[in-house]
Amino acid sequence: MPAMQTLRSVKIAALILSLASQLLQVLCFIFQTHDPFERSERAKVQIGVSPIAGFIEEALMQKWKITFVDDHGETVDEVFECDECPDNEHAAKLIKARLLPVAAELDLNDLEGRTADASVKSLKTQNSIQILGITPI
């Protein structure tokens, strides 16, 4: 009797897997992509309205490489897109949002408004991450 239950469980699992595969194919067709988990590498664009001409101007966002030492002591390079060179404070917020999204949302920074570069200091003291440099790509 246990062999029959095991065989039935295997058949049910195979059926579920087949249905999931078909559903994935349908979703891929709907969204016109080969891999639904593939990250799009489309260039981000900054859009603004010209007060003189009254039309929309588009400019590609500049890519910046932020080099920092992570909490394991390893040097890491991360690429971010910004319209202008981020200062250390903005870079700290970008790093925190990418590497520690939950902590970035909680905003446990008690130095905000009381000291210069509050995000940089809290990133270093709370997460052991230190920014080394910011360079354009």
Q: What is the pTM of this model?
A: 0.55
Give the model confidence (pLDDT) of 96-125 as tens digits.
Answer: 999 988 877 776 555 566 667 788 888 898
- For the chain, give the DSSP string: -HHHHHHHHHHHHHHHHHHHHHHHHHHHHHHT-S-TTPPP-PPPEEEEE-TTT-SEEEEEPEEEEEEEE-TTS-EEEEEEEESS---HHHHHHHHHHHH-HHHHHHT--TTTTTSTTHHHHHHHHHH--EEEEEEE-
Give the model confidence (pLDDT) of 1-24 as tens digits.
Answer: 566 677 777 778 777 867 776 776
